Amino acid sequence: MGQRVNCVKLGKEAEGLDAPPYPGELGQRIFENVSREGWQLWMRHQTMLINENRISLADPKARKFLEQEMEKFFFGGGSALPGGFVSPDRLK
């Protein structure tokens, strides 16, 4: 079980991650400040960004874009939705 963190995404104390989920300084900041639940929110958002923008993870520019969006998602003003994105919930 991970440590307890004051999650910057959820705005409350919650169970933290077991290890940094990303390399380098950004991964360490996430490990120290993001809960498991907060990380799962990012994973869903990242999947949407990859699918909607047709991102290839083999492309270094695409990986850099995702890293920048991850930083904004947790520590900035939030990661934007792709242009023209319509939530599947709104299609019902």
CATH of domain 4-80: 1.10.3880.10
Report which of 74, 50, 73 is spatially closest to residue 63, judged by C-alpha positions. Answer: 50
Asked if pLDDT for residue 1 goes beyond 60, the answer is no
Q: What is the CA radius of gyration of the chain?
A: 14
Q: Is residue 70 within 8 Å of 52, Cβ to Cβ?
A: no
Instruction: Report, as an integer, the average pLDDT of 50-60.
Output: 93
| Contact yes or no for 38/7 (Cβ under 8 A) | yes
Residue 40, H or E segment: helix 36-52
pTM of the model: 0.83
Q: Which two tokens stand for residue 52?
A: 């909607």
Q: Is the pLDDT of residue 73 over 90?
A: yes
Please name every residue paired with 5 in a beta bridge, in sequence order, or none if there are none.
14
Mean pLDDT throughout 57-85?
86
Q: How many CB atoms lie within 10 A of CB 74?
A: 21
Domain ranges of the chain: 4-80
